[in-house]
Amino acid sequence: MLDSHHDQTAMPGEQGDHSLLQLDHQLCFALYACSKEVTRLYRPLLQELGLTYTQYVTLLALWERDGEPVKSLGSRLYLDSGTLTPLLKKLESMGLVNRVRDRADERMLRVNLTEAGQAMRAKAGSIPRKLCEVTGMELRDLEALRLQLQQLNAVIQHHYEEDSEHGED
Amino acid sequence: MLDSHHDQTAMPGEQGDHSLLQLDHQLCFALYACSKEVTRLYRPLLQELGLTYTQYVTLLALWERDGEPVKSLGSRLYLDSGTLTPLLKKLESMGLVNRVRDRADERMLRVNLTEAGQAMRAKAGSIPRKLCEVTGMELRDLEALRLQLQQLNAVIQHHYEEDSEHGED
DNA sequence: TCCAATTTAATTGTATGCAATATAGTTGCG
DNA sequence: CGCAACTATATTGCATACAATTAAATTGGA
């Protein structure tokens, strides 16, 4: 116990500067904060389209693969049916998608873009460029950062795959 | 419109490979996915302490500065009172903090760690190391990634500060 | 001093996000 | 075929998140 004197007055730099638990030293918190702040940058742009951020990335996925089942959509978006079911119902109520059971396998629900859902893609086209401008950072650096994040994510996925191979005990 | 033919059969690699809107090209989504997956790594470790991830980072902040008011706590954690009020009430019901009005300024609510809240810090001490082990990545690389995220976050903060200087119109 | 503007928390409403469970459809094996 | 194991989606409950509003306390002039 190096810091056995903990008073209530919160002397700055006294309670945890040498600690592994310092907030500013946590990669997890840098990710958490950065993700939220980037999402906040999107908010006003998406508001013009009447979309939330999660609805936006769901449409990104569907613009690439129309008619995808909920399960594989969730796998790409890292979301489960508990989140996707109400979200897709919302997109349906907005007239952007249709939800139809697969006739060959009635368990699967396929999500199809409507005309309006297709049309939204053109309106969203300018968003990536606008966001880049806001940061004013080098495109090269943003790309590099993205690749590192994808690599870290891949490492984590690999970790889970290893676990399930060993027959989770 | 380079892709005016959009059929329902979702030909892989046909609808958006050349597009700026491709999911895998978005820095925002890499952040969003990575943040969620890292949080998922924490979950089983935090579960042993009976904490959620947001409760954990709130305690990280309090371990550094005990007795901090809700406002400044929220500023450090990028959370507003709508999120913090119920979260802090929960931590209080768990016996980890006390919430007391500042006598000099009754608007402010100060959050003080209890004995149990202080004690929790020792139990959490092993978490950062465990997380590092899981990834198996070089500490150097993880540090570098964190610094880049903090820099991006700083750029975004600077962007908002600039905006408010111009007298938000 | 008095009161309008400001500041801090709390509240309300909507949207995620995830664990656990429920339900329906499918598959595989005897 | 009959049924147990499996799979896909939906539902429920709890915990974030954030915008907008409310309420209470404080501050800063006129």
- Condensed to tens digits (0 to 9), the pLDDT of residues A7-25 reads 333 344 344 445 899 999 9
In angstroms, the separation between the Cα of residue B37 and the nearest Cα of chain A is 7
Q: Mind listing the pLDDT tens digit for each residue in B138-169?
A: 999 999 999 999 999 999 999 988 766 544 33
Q: Is the pLDDT of residue A91 over 90?
A: yes
Clarify whether residues B109 and B136 are in a common domain: no
SS3 A100: strand
The whole-angstrom distance between residue B17's C-alpha and the CA centroid of its chain comes to 32
Q: Is B30 inside a domain boundary?
A: no
**Partner-chain contact B15 A65, CB within 8 Å:** yes
Domain membership flag for residue B73:
yes
Residue B114 lies in a domain: yes
DSSP element (H, E) containing A152: helix A139-165
DSSP string, A108-124: -EEEEE-HHHHHHHHHH
Pairing of strands A109-113, A97-101: antiparallel
The predicted-structure confidence for A124-148, as pLDDT tens digits, reads as follows 999 999 999 888 889 999 999 999 9
> What pLDDT score does B89 carry?
98
B131 and B108 in one domain? no
A121/B149 CB distance under 8 A: no
Domain of B97, CATH number, reads 1.10.10.10
The answer on B139 and B105 residing in a single domain is: no
Tell me whether residue A132 is in a domain: no
pLDDT the model gives residue A146: 97
Give domain status of residue A97, yes or no. Answer: yes
In degrees rounded to 5, what are phi and psi of residue A135? -70, -35
Question: pLDDT digits over A35-60, tens only?
Answer: 999 999 999 999 999 999 999 999 99
Question: Are B134 and B91 contained in the same domain?
Answer: no
Rounded mean pLDDT, B81-93: 98
3-state per-residue secondary structure call for chain B: CCCCCCCCCCCCCCCCCCCCCCHHHCHHHHHHHHHHHHHHHHHHHHHHHCCCHHHHHHHHHHHHCCCEEHHHHHHHHCCCHHHHHHHHHHHHHCCCEEEEECCCCCCCEEEEECHHHHHHHHHHCCHHHHHHHHHCCCHHHHHHHHHHHHHHHHHHHHHHHHHHHCCCC
Mean pLDDT of B52-69: 98
Q: Is residue A142 part of a domain?
A: no
Q: Is A68 a member of any domain?
A: yes
Residues B116 and B85 reside in one and the same domain: yes
Residue B40, CA: closest nucleotide via C1'? C18
Mean of pLDDT over chain A: 88
B window 49-108, beta carbon within 8 A of A: 53, 57, 60-61, 63-68, 76, 78
Total number of domains constituting chain B: 2
Q: Is residue B41 part of a domain?
A: no
B114 and B156: one domain? Answer: no
Mean pLDDT taken over chain B: 88
Contact with chain A for residue B139, Cβ under 8 A: no
B107 and B152 belong to one structural domain: no
- State the nearest residue by CA to the C1' of C26: A105
- Distances in Å between the alpha carbon of A104 and those of A98, A107, B9? 18, 9, 14
Residue A114's domain spans which residues?
50-123
Is there a single domain that holds both residue B146 and residue B90? no
Question: What does the pLDDT read at residue A71?
Answer: 98
Residue A69 host element (H or E): strand A68-69
Q: Please check the confidence at residue B50 and state whether its pLDDT lies above 90.
A: yes
